[in-house]
Structure 1
Amino acid sequence: MKHINQIIFIFSLFITGLSHAMLPPLHQAVLDGNLEQVQHLLDAGAEVNAVAEEDGFTPLHFASHLGNETIVSRLLGAGARVDVADRYGFRPLHWAAGNGHETVVNLLLNRGADINNPTQEGYTPLFWTVFNDQFNDRKSVVKLLLTRGANVKTATKEGATPLDCAKQYNRTEVATLLRHWIKSKKILD
């Protein structure tokens, strides 16, 4: 989990606009939440899967991170690849789930996002959601991921499971939920 803070910091630079001017116009429109501009750019032939050079983020990564379900829907409708990975292996589902955007998580899953896709460090969307549950507000997303088939036993490269993460970072409600899920499904350690 040593790279998590670095990844969050780099992504926050884009979200806060420090690198905003260097992004392609479609990325900028998505970050601004400007649906009209997004549609105009798509109609004009903007590449829906364009990658920001710095870290490999696509417009769908940004829209998913921000939880903008309307823009996510437009991007998907325009052919955005649902499982494209950024430089670190994070996919739009990681960002939507980790930020508690349940509706966007459903949109991505309904379009075929792989619920168990790991990052380079082995963080699945479930693990990333548990890690980001600092305010005990991700429980519904964790439930959604579990009911849609997230593998609760998948471990990171360091050997940590989502339950290990929940215990380590005092995500008590999510830890209880994961324990009950494991017990109810008779998943063995």
Structure 2
Amino acid sequence: MISVLIADDQALVRGALRALLNLEDDISVVAEVGRGDELVEALRLHPADVAVVDIEMPGLDGISATVAVCEAGLDTKVLIVTTFGRPGYVQRALAAGAKGFIVKDTPADELANAIRTISSGGQVVDPALATQSLFSGANPLTKREQELLLIAEDGLTIAEIAGQVFLSEGTVRNHLSSAIGKTDATTRAQAAHIARENGWL
């Protein structure tokens, strides 16, 4: 029997996934959580072979939660299941240690097969996303550029951003200018939007 833990902030989605997976003879859902920062503790209380994890959750996003699972040394393998089929997310999730990445409109039998594959040591990536990911290339943004674009999304001025990250205004301006260039944008807000659409943030 393959044990599964579901992490998704939408109760209806968790319930639907639980109901679908419990129809399988060889899969059993042992626990659910609604926040990314609850995942590691839940897995310690309810060890699972596979964690089915959403990307966008409060506390910790799915990618950060995957890193936490790996750093905790747990044997659980992570399958990211998300509404947001962005190529950059695939790259970031796999780099974080996830063993699979599929979108939520995947048919139930394919989800079950993905769980079986991952449980037995394989990897699964949605074919269309894998192709997009291959052709979109790696995330061009540095960690610092990603950090500053995330802050810039809130509409802060250069001075406010600089104060928040303890850098000079000139340094912040240079990093943001670089990010704008790399995303072919004309403003900080547009650069942040493009980066988010590509799954780079």
TM-score, normalized by length of structure 2? 0.31
Q: Which has the higher strand share?
A: 2
Which structure has more relative contact order (CA 8 Å, sep 6+)? It is: 2
TM-score, normalized by length of structure 1? 0.32
Structure of larger gyration radius:
2
